[in-house]
Amino acid sequence: MKKVLILATSPRKNGNSTLLAQEFQKGAQEAGNSAEIIYLCEKNINFCKGCLSCIRTKKCIIDDDMGEILEKIKTSNVIVFATPIYYYEMSGQMKTLIDRTNPLFESDYPFRDIYLLTTAADSGEYCADGAIKGLEGWIACFSKTNLKGVIKGFGVTSAGDIKGHKALIEAYNAGKNV
């Protein structure tokens, strides 16, 4: 059994990328894994101050919900990021979360496989290239990890448009195969 942590980074709790996250969770749980979704829209996460205290102490000086999220990341085997694509890039919420994982740098972490679930109004295959590149930068800082999969739910605009999209099946199957 693997411990899967899914970080739903959409500002909309019922947005399309969140629906992908829920399908991934369903597949992972049906395969016998533990899978939890954290909805960032319900959390208070402030911007990194760049003070680098966390490098020395392995803790962030900011008192917000990120401490709880870091503890869950530190005990997970699989990390899944679900994001809407805004201006061909990850959501600001996802970028803020990534910046705040700095206390994990140079720590002994169990996560190995990283997934990216994306949705976009545009339907071009290139839509998520910026988000993928940004996430690959984070992955490069954690040498034991790899980008195991990217799921693209493109051509969806309004919340719920993803219903019936092949990306839901892909997310479910990816979860089932963690």
pLDDT, tens digit only, all 178 positions of the chain: 999 999 999 999 889 999 999 999 999 999 999 999 999 999 999 999 999 999 899 899 999 999 999 999 999 999 999 999 999 999 999 999 999 999 998 888 999 999 999 999 999 999 999 999 999 999 999 999 999 999 999 999 999 999 999 999 999 999 999 9
3-state secondary structure of 98: helix
Is there a contact between 80 and 4 (Cβ–Cβ < 8 Å)? Answer: yes
- What are the extents of the domains in the chain? 3-176
Q: Output the CATH code of domain 3-176.
A: 3.40.50.360
